[in-house]
Chain A
Amino acid sequence: MSQTATPDTPALAAAGWSKRAGLLLGALVVVALVGLFAGARYGMMLAIGLGFGIALEGMRFGFAGPWRAMILRREPSGVIAQLLSIAVVAVVAIPLLASHPGELVGAQAPVGFAMIGGAFVFGACMQIVLGCGSGTLVNAGSGNPVSLLALPFFALGSFAGAWNLIWWTDLGALPIITFGGTSGLLITLVLIALAVGLFLWRAAPGAVKLSRRHAIAALVLAALAIGNLVVAGQPWGVVYGLGLWAAKGFSALGGDLSASAFWAAPGSMERVQASVLTDYTSLTDIGIILGAFGVAAWRRGALSAALPGYPARAWVATVVAGFLLGYSSRLAFGCNVGAFFSGISTGSLHGWVWFVAAFGGAFYGIKLRPILGLEART
């Protein structure tokens, strides 16, 4: 439906600018308060999270959508941008990890049966709800009702998946295999180049190879991810923070975390008792929601759009898929951010295995989405 553009009146323009000034001021105040009362590092992590949210929502960039575009329409731009971003981070992160062992850690995890199965399920579910780890946060913040409903179940799933993680990894896993140092960086870049070549080969004739918007988003995301590593000492992640929120809720309701090998571990217990404002992934997760909200509020008319209608089965599917997103991403040692983006960019083999398994799952998720009623009624 076409709309006729109407010129701004001075009063409308002034109201718009005052709202935007309020959003900027609000963001600065929140970051300053966290920096002041929790510590400078935590304030910076919230600022980085805000940056992720603003970049992802502001440039309409993500992970689930580009995979869908590649699979359905053979448009490679978004996937190639993801790989470009990962490559830029790898060029900085892998040497830094080699020169600052201990101070900095990578997203390095073992490849195993549960890890592969978890990635496959995650890939399917992220296409069902059309939101991955970061995408669910971004979409919830910008008012997408499907992601908003999926988010709490994502958190519960992450908590439950961590609860059972040791049982799942005991099914069989390789030692952690990493590509470190100069040779590791070269291997990573060659693998990325091969993946880019594969997507270009499969691209539809005439499809845009890498759009300007995607390229800029990739570089901004890479800069933020490097900032995440330098400030926090660990790469960008999403899922741990969500599970931690559920663990705190479980504990507050009188639940006994000591029954879980994961949550009873000293490091986990310490984080459950500490403030989420001192947990890096919680801070970036909160920042992503707030950043996406800020962009949606900034954009004229974005929040006045009517909510789409879905049948009941779509809401049930959202709850189940949300839970599975959280559960499977713990078994897979991360989501599209912690395993795919940060795993590959810090030289972990599991990031590559995650990519292949999740991309395979995405084909099934795309088929299931309309069956489950998640293509919105118009």
Chain B
Amino acid sequence: MTRAFTASLALAFVVLLVGFDLASAELNPYQAPAAFALGSGAVASGGFCGALPN
């Protein structure tokens, strides 16, 4: 068995993750934030590993 097999599994993992996600959550580009946070005037609100729950 070669690394092609395990690398393909990693790729399949990503495809399954995104596929499952798209089946359960909708995307709406019209409600997307500005392309750049810097200069947008909006408060940063993404999840981050250093942040306590908000």
Q: Residues of A at under 8 Å CB distance from B?
A: 36-42, 44, 96, 100, 102-105, 107-109, 140-145, 148, 151-152, 158, 165-166, 169, 229-235, 237-241, 243-245, 248, 252, 261-263, 265-268, 271, 273-281, 286, 289-290, 293, 296-297, 302-307, 329-330, 333-335, 338-339, 342-343, 348, 350
Chain B nearest Cβ from A16, distance in angstroms: 15
Chain A nearest Cβ from B3, distance in angstroms: 3
Within 8 A of A (CB), among B21-49: 21-22, 24-27, 29, 31-49
Interface pair A289/B36, CB less than 8 Å apart: no
Contact of A144 among B6, B18, B33 (CB under 8 A): B6
Interface pair A231/B36, CB less than 8 Å apart: yes
Interface pair B10/A333, CB less than 8 Å apart: no
Contact of A103 among B11, B24, B32, B44 (CB under 8 A): B44
Q: Residues of B at under 8 Å CB distance from A?
A: 1-7, 9-11, 13-14, 17-18, 20-22, 24-27, 29, 31-54
- The CA-CA distance from A278 to B22 in the complex, in Å, is 11
Contact of B53 among A40, A108, A265, A290 (CB under 8 A): A265
Can you list 23 A-B contacts with CB-CB less than 8 angstroms, sorted by A residue number?
Answer: A39-B29, A41-B36, A102-B44, A103-B39, A104-B38, A104-B44, A140-B6, A143-B10, A144-B3, A151-B10, A166-B52, A234-B44, A235-B48, A237-B48, A237-B49, A243-B49, A267-B45, A267-B53, A268-B54, A274-B25, A276-B17, A281-B49, A307-B2
